[in-house]
Structures are given as C-alpha cells and as structure tokens.
Structure 1
Amino acid sequence: MFDGFTGWPVDVPPGGLLRLSGRMTDAQVGTAVAVIADSSVWDDLPALDLLRAFTDQDEVAVPGGLRLTDTSTGAVVEPGCCFGLESWRDWAELLDGETPWLGHDPTPEIEFADGVALVRVDGGDSIRLPLEELPAILTAVRNDLTGFLSLTGRWADAHAPHLSGRLVKLLDRGLRITLPV
C-alpha cells in the first residue's frame, strides 16, 4: 500500500466511481467501456454502433481520474471534473516540482514542502503525499490499467469480436497504459 497511500484509476459511470483494474466483473468492464465510448463519441447511438464509432476515434475521453487515499487517516482526494483518466500520467509532474492542472469541482490545490505534496480539494480532505512514493503509486495505477486493458480484450472478444483489437489498441494508446512509467 506504499506506506499508507493508494491511487486508483477510476471511471465515473452513472451512480458513482468504478475502479478500473484486472479484478472487474464482465458487467463492470462492459459498463466502463460504454461510459468511455459515450464520453468520447457524443452521439446517441445504439450500443454496437456506439462501440464501432468509438473504435474509429483517434483519442479517448475517460471521465474520472486518480482517487488518492491516505489509508492511515482515511483522507480521500477524489478526481476533479474535466481531468480525465487519459491524463493520469500528469501526476508525475509533481516529481519536477510542477503543479499539474487536475480539474475542478472539486478543485485540487497542491503545495510543496520538504519532499511532500500537500493535495487539498475545495475545503475537503487533504493528503500529505510523500513524493518518493509517487513513482510506486503511478506504477500500481499502470498495473491496474493493464489489468483493465486485458479484461477489456476478453470482454470485446466475447461481445464484439470484430472490434476487439481496435478497442484494445485505442484504449492503450489513449490512456497511455503500456508505456513505461
């Protein structure tokens, strides 16, 4: 758990957060793919047509982002609006002392002091994130996304085999999953 911190890649389907990982059910993978496709295509299409239109896209927009939790205090920093999961690697900018734009509603604020990033959102919880732990957290996020990508390939093989390869390649490219951290 990286000395008490976790970072989850999350998608925001109707009704709340869904952790993307290799431990999802078939129905959860289908829900995540539907939400991602709908967020990227912006057309009201039947499911298979939506998936086909999605796999023709060059980019993806994935609602959600990283959810940080300090497991020792219970403090949680939820992903902000308009900072999609496709930008998850931007958190690495903290290692260079830069403050990445992390969305709004809730709007995160970041301050640096003594090798720690204090991440705070709109009067809510704040987390003291030791920067030395960030690479391990981002590697764990990448591992979760790699697991999700694998399950997505299996889901697509079963439900839309003619689109499976294109779907996996698009998600991998758009979320920058298999690139080194």
Structure 2
Amino acid sequence: MIRVSAGMSSHDVGAAMAALLPGGSDVSAARACEVSAALRAVIESDRLIAAGGVLARDTLTGVVIPPSCCCGIEGWREWTTVPQGGQPWLGHSPSPWVEHLDNAVRIRPDGGLGEDPPPIEHAITAPLDEVAAQLHSAHQDLLGFLDAATRWVHDLAPGMAEDLAGKLDGSFAITERAVS
C-alpha cells in the first residue's frame, strides 16, 4: 500500500506511476528512454484506474476498513457526498458501506450488498464534521501527490511533466473545487 501525499519518496512516486501502467512495470528502475515510453503510455491511456481508494481507520479502536475490489482512487470524490447523506461505492468482496446516523456515519466493513453486516465492533463510527475534515485532508494529500508526481516526472522527462499532471488531475479529479 502506498499513501499518496506531498511527502512521497521518489521511489514511491515511481511505484505509483508503475501501478498506473498496463502490466505494472517498475518505472523507477527503468532507463530514461524506457521511462519516457512508460510515461507516454500513461498519458495516452483512455482512463487511469488506481486500485486502492480511501481507507477508513479508527485510531481509537484500531479498526481499519480498506477499500474493496473495484474501488479505486478515481472514485474518491464519491466520499464527499457522505456528509450530505450520500452513499459512495466502496467495492465488493467484501462490500463495505456507509450507514447514516443522526450527525454521524457508521462505516461497515461488509454487508453492503445485502449480506448480514459484521458485529458493530468491526465498524467505524465518526461524526460528520470529522468525516468532512478527513476528506479535506485526503484532498490535500492528493494535491500533494500531484505536485510530487509532477516534480518526479520533471526530473526524469521534463517535457512530459505538464501532460502527466493533466492526465493525473483529469483522471482523479484532484484540482476540482476543494472539499468543504
């Protein structure tokens, strides 16, 4: 698992770029001509998909609910609808889901496709204002990642930095209006 943020190492940015490639080759270890070809493949992709998405973690209880299958970073903005009662797609196998309470949400690790939900101690309950604050933090991390990736590409293939930044931003909706 790679946490995207401004503080990513060059190796982690390279690993994140490799994860966007069809076949996932290691961009960070490739020669300059291979890096350029790999970056061109990312830039020219119809649509970038980055497995992972948003991970929910309760630091008090230690409960962690990772995104499931078919839930990538490209859908992270679905989380921004949660404070207004929205239901983001969190994947399947297992199928996490968000249960809306009065001024809070409960994130369940499974049961979102009609299965019996796991016991409550396996869920995360958070006030809506905390969810909004964490979404703002996630947005800042993505903005930082965009900056780190742009600098990384500029060091390896300067002529591609602007195109790659545009592709990442367009695919992951990074610079859209800030999450409130």
Please give the range of the TM-score, normalised by the shorter of the 2 chains: 0.7 to 0.9
Identity of aligned residues (%): 37
Q: Write the distance in 1 (CA, Å) between the matches of 2:162 and 2:64.
A: 36
Cα displacement (A) at 1:96: 2.3
**5+ long unaligned stretches in structure 2:** 25-33, 111-117
Instruction: Tell me which residue corresponds to 1:38.
Output: 22
The one-letter code of the counterpart of 1:28 is: D
- TM-score between the two structures when normalised by the length of structure 2: 0.81
Cα displacement (A) at 1:162: 2.4
Instruction: Tell me which residue corresponds to 2:167.
Output: 170
Relative to total residues, which structure has the larger strand share, 1 or 2?
1
Cα displacement (A) at 1:62: 1.0
Instruction: Tell me which residue corresponds to 1:50.
Output: 38
8 Å contact kept, 1:58–1:170: no
8 Å contact kept, 1:64–1:83: yes
Give the secondary structure class of the aligned counterpart of 1:167.
helix
Instruction: Tell me which residue corresponds to 1:27.
Output: 11
Instruction: Tell me which residue corresponds to 2:94.
Output: 106
Q: Write the distance in 2 (CA, Å) between the matches of 1:143 and 1:131.
A: 18
Question: Comparing 54-63 with 151-160, which one deviates more in the overlay?
Answer: 54-63
Instruction: Tell me which residue corresponds to 1:62.
Output: 50
Give the secondary structure class of the aligned counterpart of 2:137.
helix
Instruction: Tell me which residue corresponds to 1:141.
Output: 138
Q: Write the distance in 2 (CA, Å) between the matches of 1:20 and 1:119.
A: 22
Instruction: Tell me which residue corresponds to 1:3.
Output: none
Aligned pair 1:159/2:159, yes or no?
A: no
Give the secondary structure class of the aligned counterpart of 1:117.
strand
Cα displacement (A) at 1:47: 4.8
8 Å contact kept, 2:105–2:126: yes
- Quick one: higher RCO (CA 8 Å, sep 6+), 1 or 2? 1
Cα displacement (A) at 1:132: 1.9
The one-letter code of the counterpart of 1:167 is: L
Q: Write the distance in 2 (CA, Å) between the matches of 1:29 and 1:137.
A: 22
Give the secondary structure class of the aligned counterpart of 2:54.
strand
Give the secondary structure class of the aligned counterpart of 1:52.
helix
The one-letter code of the counterpart of 1:25 is: S
Give the secondary structure class of the aligned counterpart of 1:129.
strand
The one-letter code of the counterpart of 1:31 is: A
Q: Bigger radius of gyration, 1 or 2? A: 2
**5+ long unaligned stretches in structure 1:** 1-16, 41-45
The one-letter code of the counterpart of 1:140 is: S
Cα displacement (A) at 1:153: 0.9
Q: Write the distance in 1 (CA, Å) between the matches of 2:103 and 2:42.
A: 41
8 Å contact kept, 1:109–1:120: yes
